[in-house]
Chain A
Amino acid sequence: MDVSYLKQDKLLIIKFTEEIDHHTTEKIRRRADYEIERYIPRKIIFDFDKVSFMDSAGIGLLLGRYKNATALGSKVELENVNKNIYKILKMSGITRLIQIKEKGCA
């Protein structure tokens, strides 16, 4: 997971670098919450460019972060989501809460 913070935009970019399943979510959750609470950003972007796989554990992870971020007044966006992951996100209804940009779409 790569984290970068743009101070002038109060923008936190969290780039996932592994497959997201029940095994990997615990570590991601702890780090993401730490970074979100540390910066209290205006906007958080989760970048899925390097994520080739995600199952329903990822839905729980994203919903949890969405709740925490909203409570702190931060917006959440997903970027570079591949179509197979988008299919799962769509099924969960999370697409109605969080703005999602698919991979290859401007």
Chain B
Amino acid sequence: MLSKYDNEMRLEFLSKSANEAFARITVAAFASQLDPTIDEIADIKTAVSEAVTNCIIHAYEDTQGIIKLHCIIQDNSIIIEISDNGKGIEDVNIAKEPLYTSKPNLERSGMGFTIMESFMDKLSVESVLNLGTKVTMEKTIKKAKNILEEQENKCTTA
């Protein structure tokens, strides 16, 4: 198969909570070829965990469905698409508000989208009621050389 990207992978799994760890570890392993820092990997793992948990708790609720994961590596960036065929989000803007949760009784913090947004460089959410939701996130992995330069700049400005 030809790909227009540097690398890509697809994965489908059942919406079982045991797969939350499976999904984030898999994406972290795939992203490791960009040579990210431990902090960058931690950010990616957390964002993936939030997106997959949303599919399980909200999209499929008490039913079971398939969660699709599509990862693309292009230049220094990883693009992660996580989609479901669940019930969809009525108002994405409200769902993205910090501390908003539709399930306060479950001790949910309402921080999911806020974490995805701040841990990744880009986030977009497309949702159609009763058809499903697709979350696309992108993170650019800084090259070691750039990080060094940044630190040097910090030192000179300090």
Contacts and interface: CB of A to CB of B under 8 A. Distances in A.
Interface stretch (B46-54, B83-91, B140-148, B149-157): B46-54
Interface residues of B, number: 25
Given A19-B21, A23-B17, A23-B20, A88 B53 contact: no
A56 B50 contact: yes
Contacts, number: 62
Contacts of A63: 107, 109
Given A22-B17, A91-B118, A64 B107 contact: yes
Main secondary structure of the interface of B (DSSP, over half): helix
Interface string A17-30: 00101110100010
Interface of B: 17-18, 20-21, 24, 39, 42-43, 45-46, 49-50, 53, 56-57, 106-112, 114-115, 118
Given A55-B46, A91-B118, A23 B21 contact: yes
B30 to A, nearest CB: 17
A88 B46 contact: yes
Given A22-B20, A22-B53, A56 B42 contact: no
A92 B112 CA distance: 11
A21 B115 contact: no
A64 B115 CA distance: 19
A51 B101 CA distance: 25
Contact of B39 (A21, A84, A91, A92): A84
